[in-house]
Structure 1
Amino acid sequence: MNKMRHFSFILLVLCSFITSLFANITTSTHQSVQTSLRNKGRSRITMQIEAIYQFGDSLSDTGNLVRETTRVKPAFARLPYGQTFFHRPTGRCSDGLLMVDYFEIKRKLENALVLMGEIGGNDYNLAFFQGKTLEQVYQLVPNVVQTIKYAVQEVIWLGATNIVVPGNFPIGCVPLYLVRFETNDKSKYDELQCLKDYNDFSKYHNELLIRAIQELQQEHPNVAIVYGDYYYALTWVIKHAPRLGFERGGSTKVCCAIGNNPYNYDLKKSCGSPGVPICEDPSKRISWDGIHMTQEGNKNVAIWLLKNSLPTLRTHFHP
């Protein structure tokens, strides 16, 4: 019981940090996002929500870490991060907007949407890059998923009624993993040239997460809880990269990086470090810094989610 109370306190503290996910987006910027989406030929999808509260890591942080830390500022607190859209760093781990920035919010509407994640990615990253084997990291998954389930239960207890729980991305398609675990064994790669073993790991996490969501939905029939399929969204974007306007090799080459390999990525030379260049047009590549996506990558993944995951929430929406 004490542990649950402590966890509730942590969530409340996190909520106090999330003053506004759109604090850095002015009205004109918001209109630009809408125009950007329309120019891609996509219909704009709106939900009856008045705010978004997102818990997650650097894939979703719109600047809270930079604003709250009193230590040495991270690389994404300075240019070239933020150069494409804001023309200045905002604390977002991209050249511009993130996926959550494309989830449009209208004022004076009835409900809040809670995005629980992506959660767990950093736990797995740390384990893999400390040298743990796939088999060892697989053993972490049930506990990670259980923690996500507890977190969802807590926000329900705090009053949330509309929740999206994102799954894990296909980490075998991320340049960080493609470089670190590169192999000459061609059988280890799938048709998208992603590492099959690490994508299978992501699938396992997502399978357990979907079961947990189903259990939560049965326990809370008056709450809308939807799985956000980040895995399929990103693989769809990679598969259709040329059609979406990405350049040849744009689904694998990193933009803000340097490296003597097909991914243009060196694990020891991160984006923002001296001598690390930026590609001529970030909108032509999916990966910004080897871990996080470019604004264009985020936009295309967000569009897929808006068309395929959030409409599922609409059918269960609780005003």
Structure 2
Amino acid sequence: MGEIGGNDYNHALLAGKSIDDVKTYVPFVVEAIISAINELVELGAKTILVPGNLPIGCSATYLTLYNSFDSIEYDNLTGCLIKFNKFAEYHNKHLLTKLKQLRELHPYPNIIYADYYNAAMQFFCSPEKYGFKNGALKACCGGGGTFNYNAAILCANPTSTICSKPDTYANWDGLHLTEAAYKVISKSLLQGPYTVPQFNSFFPSLMLNEGDGLSSFL
């Protein structure tokens, strides 16, 4: 199940809608996810991986557009914007509750929650540990500024700049992550503790090669 809701929230928040306003979208977004899962179950799906939302408060886009001189707005460890990460957590909590109810209704298919949020927070908390020598917040491709994000000069604009070593960055273009970051997330989901129930409890023999990722398995 793709990251349903990401664009719904991003378009609204980046257009200036308040978090309280966008919170009212969450039940509708989650219901759309649950409805899609029900359809897949009826079609005979055996295993469904349902991702939560990423910590959007760590994206270069939000960090640039909602830049604040008030240090209380930021997480001391990661430098991410607290209120936007709390919003992502709000969505994820709502989704988890509904998935638990869904498992009770459909006990036989494997309905697995993919904790993108905490899988990603690993490298936002300790970027160098995962090889992100240029940090986890600054975009590799963008239009300059503190986080190399400029709404007027987006990645792929002829005047934008691209870093020479994308694998040393976690953030690609402001909203999307780099392949190296997604690799950390995919391994954490398939082989680690960042799914509910744990993915490897269903597929204990699953091993990823060095170049593999979640998309190559699916």
Task: From the CA coordinates, give the structure whose radius of gyration is larger.
Answer: 1
Distance in 2 between residues matched to 1:316 and 1:154, nearest whole Å? 22
Distance in 1 between residues matched to 2:71 and 2:126, nearest whole Å? 22
Alignment partner of 1:243: what SS?
A: helix
- 1:257: how far off? 1.1
Native 8 Å contact 2:190 2:200 kept in 1:
no
- 1:129: how far off? 2.0
Query: Which residue among 280, 286, 304 is the counterpart of 2:164?
Result: 280
Find the counterpart in structure 1 of residue 178 from structure 2: 294
Distance in 1 between residues matched to 2:46 and 2:22, nearest whole Å? 33
The superposition leaves residues 156-182 of structure 1 with CA deviations (integer Å, 9 ceiling, x where unpaired) of 111101111100001101111111111
Alignment partner of 1:165: what SS?
A: strand
Letter paired with 2:191: K
- 1:243: how far off? 1.4
Find the counterpart in structure 1 of residue 31 from structure 2: 146
Query: Which residue among 90, 106, 119 is the counterpart of 1:204?
Result: 90
Query: Which residue among 121, 136, 148 is the counterpart of 1:235?
Result: 121
The TM-score normalised by the length of structure 2 is 0.87
The TM-score normalised by the length of structure 1 is 0.60
Structure 1 residue ranges, 4+ long, deviating more than 6 angstroms after superposition:
none
Native 8 Å contact 2:189 2:199 kept in 1:
no
Alignment partner of 2:84: what SS?
A: helix
Find the counterpart in structure 2 of residue 84 from structure 1: none
Query: Which residue among 65, 74, 80 is the counterpart of 1:194?
Result: 80
- 1:259 paired to 2:144: yes
Query: Which residue among 188, 211, 215 is the counterpart of 2:101?
Result: 215
The superposition leaves residues 249-306 of structure 1 with CA deviations (integer Å, 9 ceiling, x where unpaired) of x211111112222x12111111111111111211110111111111111111212112
Residues 1:316 and 1:220: Cα distance change in structure 2 (over 3 Å)? farther
CA RMSD of aligned residues (A): 1.4
Among all aligned residue pairs of Structure 1 and Structure 2, give the percentage whose two residues are the same amino acid: 40
Distance in 1 between residues matched to 2:94 and 2:107, nearest whole Å? 20
* Alignment gaps of 5+ in structure 1: 1-115
* Alignment gaps of 5+ in structure 2: 204-218
- 1:315: how far off? 3.0
Find the counterpart in structure 1 of residue 11 from structure 2: 126
Native 8 Å contact 1:176 1:290 kept in 2:
yes
Native 8 Å contact 1:237 1:301 kept in 2:
no
Question: What is the number of residues matched between the two proteins?
Answer: 200
